Amino acid sequence: ITALAPELIILPGKMEKLSALAEQNHFKVLNAHMDDLKTIHDSIRAIGGALNSMPQAEALCKKIDDDLAAVRNAVKDEPRANVLIINSRQGHDLNNLFTVGRMSFVSELTDIAGGDNIFNDTDKPYFEASKESVVARAPEVIIEFHSGENISTEEQARYVADWSELDGVPAVRNKRIYLFLETYGLRPGPRIGLIAARIATLLHPKVSIQIL
Burial of residue 204 (CB within 10 Å: 0-12, 13-18, 19+) is buried
The tens place of each residue's pLDDT in the chain, 212 residues long, gives 999 999 999 998 778 899 899 999 999 999 998 989 999 999 999 999 999 999 999 999 999 999 999 999 999 999 999 999 999 887 898 988 999 999 999 999 999 999 999 999 999 999 999 999 999 999 999 999 999 899 999 999 999 999 999 999 999 999 999 999 999 999 999 999 999 999 999 999 999 898 87
| Among the listed residues 95, 174, 168, 96, the one whose alpha carbon sits nearest the alpha carbon of residue 141 | 174
The alpha-helical segments, DSSP class H, found in 51-191 are 54-75, 105-112, 131-137, 153-161, 170-173
- Residues in the chain, how many? 212
> Between β-strands 115-117 and 9-11, what pairing exists: parallel, antiparallel or unpaired?
unpaired
* Report field, pTM of the whole predicted structure over 0.85: yes
Tell me how far apart the alpha carbons of residues 85 and 139 are, in angstroms, rounded to a whole number.
Answer: 9
Alpha carbon 178 to its chain centroid, in Å, reads 15
CA distances from residue 92 to 34, 49, 87, 89, 137 in whole angstroms, order as listed: 30, 46, 14, 8, 22
Region of residue 98 (phi > 0: left; psi between -120 and 50: alpha; otherwise: beta): beta
